[in-house]
Amino acid sequence: MSAPRRYQGIMTATPTPLDAAGEILADAVREHVESQIRAGITGIVPAGGTGEFPSLSEAQRVRMVELTVEAAAGRVPVIAGVLHPGLADATRAASTYLSIGADAVMVVTPFYYRPTQAGIVEYFRRLADKVDGDLVLYEIPYRTGVSLLPETVAAIVEHTRTVAMKACNPDLSQQMRVVEAVGRSIAILTGEEAVFPLHIAMGAVGGMLAGSNIFPHAWTKILRLARGGDLQAAGDLHSRLQPATDALYAEPNPAPLKAAMELLGMPAGPVLAPMLPASTGCIERLRLVLPAAMAIERACEAEAPVTRAAA
């Protein structure tokens, strides 16, 4: 399988489960990765934004990637997040995660300085010169303040070992132009759950999602319907899931997600400073919307074929 084709489908951006002292819950990581693979998820993305990369220590990031690689056991790709703003730290982290078994690294656009488009191309070229592994571009301008023009993406793809892009730009016209520029060369994966069917209709081949931690079968079905051309059915299912999706993003991710997982008996633990735990109002909102959403998930699970055997 070619590298771009390997990075398709629903890939889950996992949270980092922690105990009260901030230590990673190793068993919870293993169990969650196993349940995701059983559900047919096609990749695991640890230590990204949902995994609280900026708040974790480097030792915690390494441990989270190690545990995920161990649990995945080669059955699906593991794409480790690299959310450093500087080239030296990003290069060192990417090389470390690849050396301990990650299949690829998801590298965010350099932020804080808000560099020029030429500066961004040079950044990724220099990183690629020093990192021996698959790269996934990560564009999320409402977090970084930096957007990637289609021609910038094309230049990065031309000069680096880029296999995919996590596109979190809500500008649909720009997303369309990115697909037109590089969609035949790399896998475009949406991170925008709110407009997921539209991104698939425009040419994205999957998504890197936080919601699939809880609703892997539902998101997989939405993808299957959208890629099969049944946008009406995909939109209907997406709309039915939307109240839960909205609740998961009612406060900064991953606090509501971790709260929802705890409500469902999935160990996730607290968030790290400067994040605050989900508010009482958010938790009550989750209590109201999760039962209906979980009924949707169970119905989608009942319809789903068995896609992958457990280890």
Catalytic positions, please?
A: 138, 166
Beta strands 79-82 and 43-45 are: unpaired
Looking at residue 273, its amino acid is A
Cβ atoms 38, 71 nearer than 8 A = no
With vertex at residue 238, the alpha carbon angle to CA 217 and CA 262, rounded to the nearest 5 degrees, is 55
Cβ contacts of residue 180 below 8 Å, gap of 6+? 150, 203
Q: What does the alpha-carbon distance between residue 54 and residue 92 come to, in Å, rounded to a whole number?
A: 15
SS3 112: coil
Nearest of 199, 289, 302 to residue 242 by alpha carbon: 289
With vertex at residue 107, the alpha carbon angle to CA 198 and CA 247, rounded to the nearest 5 degrees, is 45
